[in-house]
Chains A and B, each alone.
Chain A
Amino acid sequence: MLKFPKHFTLKSPVGATLACILGLFFFLSAYVSGEFPLDAVQVGDELCSACHDQINQQFQKNIHARLAVGDENTCEACHGPGSKHAEEGDPALIYNAPKDYSATGKNMCITCHQGRAFNSWHGLTHFEAVEGCSDCHKIHSEEKHLLAKQEPQLCFDCHTLKKSQARMPSHHPVMEGLVSCSDCHSVHSGEVKYTVGDESRELCLSCHSSLSGPFIFEHEPVNEDCGICHDPHGTIADKLLIQNEPFLCLSCHPMHFHVTLVGYEGEFSAPMHPERTGVSTRDGMKQAMLTKCTQCHSEVHGSDLPSQSISGAGRALTR
Chain B
Amino acid sequence: MKRPFLKFLIVAIAVLVLPFFSSSAISQEEPTSSIWSLWLGGHYTGYEDFYKKVGEFDRGEKEAMPEVSLSYSGYKEDQSWDFFGHYYDPKRISFDLSGKSKDVFSGKVSYLSSYRQRATDLLENLMAREAVNQENKPGGKMFTYEHENPDADFGYTRHEVKSDFQVKVPGSAKLKIKAFHRSILEKGDDQKVVSMHCSSCHMVSKSAKVDRRTHTVSAGAEATTGPVLFSYLGSYRTFKSEASTPVAFYDKAEHPTEKDSAKQEGYIKEFDARMVFNDEKVPFGQIPETEKMAHTLKVKTDMGKKGDILGSFTNSQAKNKSAGLKVQSNSGGLKYVVSPSQKTKIVALASLSRIESDEAQIDLPLWRDGLTGGGQDFDWIRYSNLTRTVAKGSAEFIYQPNRKYRVFLSTGYEGTERDDYPDIEAKGKTTKLKASVGGKYRPNSKFWGRIKYSFENIKDPAPYNQLFEASGDTLAKLWYFEREKLRYGDVTNQPTNQHGIDLTLNFRPDRRTSLSAGLRASLETNGDTDSLDFERTKLQPQVSATLAPTPEWNLFGSISYAYDKSNGLASVAMMDG
Q: List residues of chain A with CB under 8 Å of any chain B CB.
A: 2-5, 8, 14, 18, 21-22, 25, 28-30, 32-36, 61, 66-67, 69, 98-100, 102-105, 116, 119-120, 122-123, 127-129, 131, 157-158, 160-161, 163-164, 169-170, 173, 176, 178, 191, 206-207, 209-210, 212-218, 220-221, 223-224, 228, 238, 242-243, 247-248, 250-266, 268, 270-273, 276-282, 284-285, 287-288, 291-292, 295-296, 298-299, 303-311, 313-315, 318-319
A5 contacts B335, CB within 8 Å? no
The 5 listed contacts between A and B (C-beta, < 8 Å) are: A3-B537, A104-B345, A276-B202, A304-B286, A310-B378
Indicate if the CB atoms of B276 and A262 lie closer than 8 Å. no
Residue ID in chain B nearest A297 by CB atoms: B195
Are A305 and B283 within 8 A (Cβ)?
yes
How near does chain B come to A318, taking the closest CB pair, in angstroms?
6
| A259-B577 CB under 8 A given contacts A119-B300, A122-B345, A161-B562 | yes
Please name the 6 residue pairs, one residue from A and one from B, whose CB atoms are nearest each other, closest first: A284-B128, A34-B444, A260-B577, A257-B575, A123-B347, A173-B57
CB distance from A46 to the nearest CB of B (A): 16
> Contacting B339 at CB < 8 Å: which of A2, A104, A256?
A104
- Contact size class for B? 35 or more
| Residues in A neighbouring B562, C-beta threshold 8 A | 161, 164
Q: Is the CB of B337 within 8 A of A34?
A: no
Are A220 and B468 neighbours in the complex by a CB distance under 8 Å? yes
Which B residue sits closest to A149, measured CB to CB? B554
Q: Select from chain A the residue with minimum beta-carbon distance to B478.
A: A311
Q: Give the residues in chain A near B517, CB-CB below 8 Å.
A: 18, 21-22, 25
Q: Identify which of residues 182-209 in chain B touch chain A, using a CB-to-CB cut-off of 8 Å.
A: 184, 192-195, 197-203
Given contacts A61-B33, A280-B127, A306-B364, contact A32 B570 (CB under 8 A): no
Q: Chain A's interface: helix, strand, loop or mixed, by majority?
A: loop
In the complex, A284→B337 CA distance in Å? Answer: 62
Shortest Cβ gap from B346 to chain A (Å): 9
Do B364 and A314 have beta carbons less than 8 Å apart? yes
Of chain B, the residue at the smallest CB distance from A116 is B231
- Which residues of B have CB within 8 Å of A251? 491-493, 534, 568-569
Structural contact, B398 and A217, CB atoms closer than 8 A:
no
> How many Å lie between the Cα of A266 and that of B127 in the bound state?
11
Closest chain A residue to B475, Cβ basis: A313
Set of chain A residues within 8 Å of B335, measured between Cβ atoms: 120, 122-123
From B222, B237, B443, B465, give the contact of A116 (CB < 8 A): B222
Does B372 lie at the interface of the complex (its beta carbon under 8 Å from any beta carbon of A)? no
**B138 closest partner in A (C-beta):** A264
Q: Which of A3, A191, A228, A308 contacts B278 (CB 8 A)?
A: A308
Q: Give the contacts of B327-380 with A (CB-CB under 8 A).
A: 327, 335, 337, 339, 341-345, 347, 349, 357-358, 360, 362, 364-367, 378, 380
The interface bits of chain B over 492-524 (1 if a CB of A lies within 8 angstroms of the residue's CB, else 0) are 111000010000110101000000111111010
Once the chains bind, are B202 and A282 in contact (CB under 8 Å)?
A: no
Q: Given A273-B199, A298-B193, A305-B283, decide whether A178 and B126 contact each other with a Cβ distance below 8 A.
A: no
Q: Are A98 and B445 in contact (CB under 8 A)?
A: yes
User: Is B141 on the interface with A (CB-CB < 8 A)?
Assistant: yes
- Verify B573–A260 contact, CB threshold 8 A: yes
Minimum distance in angstroms from B27 CB to a CB of chain A:
13
A-contact bits for B513-554, CB 8 A (1 contact / 0 none):
000111111010000000000100111111110000000000
Stretch at the interface among B5-13, B36-44, B479-487: B479-487
Q: Given A28, A176, A209, which contacts B237 in the complex, CB threshold below 8 Å?
A: A209
Q: Is the beta-carbon distance between B192 and A298 smaller than 8 angstroms?
A: yes
- A298, B125: Cα distance in complex, Å: 16
Instruction: Verify A254–B130 contact, CB threshold 8 A.
Output: no
Give the contact stretch, choosing among B14-22, B147-155, B167-175, B316-324: B316-324
Query: Do A260 and B576 contact each other (CB < 8 Å), given the known contacts A216-B325, A279-B127?
Result: yes
Q: B109 an interface residue at 8 Å Cβ cutoff?
A: no
Judge whether A308 and B33 touch: CB under 8 Å: no
For residue B85, CB closer than 8 A to chain A, the reply is: no
The answer to whether B431 has its CB under 8 Å from any CB of chain A is: no
Contact between chains at B566 and A243 (CB < 8 Å): yes
* Nearest-CB residue, chain A, relative to B139: A264
- Name the distance in Å between A85's Cβ and chain B's nearest Cβ: 15
Closest to B222 in A: A116
Instruction: Give chain A residues whose Cβ lies under 8 Å from the Cβ of B462.
Output: 221, 224, 252
Contact A160 B518 (CB under 8 A): yes
Within B236-280, the residues touching A (CB, 8 Å) are 237, 239, 241, 248, 250-251, 254-257, 259, 274-278
Looking at the complex, which one of B203, B257, B310 makes contact with A120 (CB distance below 8 Å)? B310
Whether B539 contacts A319 by the Cβ 8 Å rule is no
B444 x A33 contact (CB < 8 A)? yes
Contacts of B33 in A (CB 8 A): 61
* CB interface residues, B 438-481, toward A, < 8 Å: 438, 440-450, 452, 462, 464-465, 467-468, 472, 474, 478, 480-481
Residue ID in chain A nearest B256 by CB atoms: A272
Q: How far is the CB of A14 from chain B (nearest CB, A)?
A: 7
Whether A265 touches B121, Cβ cut-off 8 Å, given contacts A217-B382, A218-B384, is no
- Provide the bound-state CA to CA distance between A54 and B537, in Å: 49
Question: Which residues of B61-102 have CB atoms within 8 Å of chain A's CB atoms?
Answer: 75, 77-78, 80, 92
| Closest chain A residue, CB of each to CB of B443 | A29
A287 — nearest CB in chain B belongs to which residue?
A: B125
B157, CB-defined interface residue at 8 Å: no
Report the nearest B residue to A265, measured CB to CB: B136
A257–B521 CB distance below 8 A = no
Q: Give the residue name and chain of the A residue nearest to B490 (CB).
A: A252
Q: Is B413 an interface residue (CB 8 A)?
A: no
What is the CA–CA distance of A288 and B128 in the complex, to the nearest angstrom? 7
Measured CA separation A280–B403 after assembly (Å): 71
B573-A220 in contact (CB<8A): no
Give A279 to B142 CA distance when docked, in angstroms: 11
Task: Judge whether B523 and A2 touch: CB under 8 Å.
Answer: yes
**In this assembly, does B131 line the interface, its C-beta being within 8 Å of a C-beta of chain A?**
yes
Pick the contact of A214 from B308, B325, B447 — CB < 8 Å? B325
Residue of A98, A116, A291 with most chain B CB atoms under a 10 A cut-off: A116
Known: A161-B540, A218-B382. A34 touches B54 (CB 8 A): no
Interface flag for B164 (CB, 8 Å): no
Q: Are B131 and A256 in contact (CB under 8 A)?
A: no
Contact check, A215 vs B323: say whether CB atoms are below 8 A apart. yes
Residues of A within 8 A of B520 (CB): 160-161
B144 vs chain A, min Cβ distance (A):
4
B266 CB, min distance to chain A CBs, angstroms: 15
On chain B, the residues within 8 Å of A18 by CB distance are 517, 519, 541
Task: Say yes or no: A310-B570 contact (C-beta < 8 A), given A18-B541, A276-B200.
Answer: no
Asked whether A221 lies within 8 Å of B442 as measured between CB atoms, the reply is no
Given A21-B517, A310-B275, verify A264-B130 contact (CB < 8 Å): yes
- Separation of A170 and B53 alpha carbons in the complex (Å): 8
Is B1 at the interface (CB under 8 A from chain A)?
no
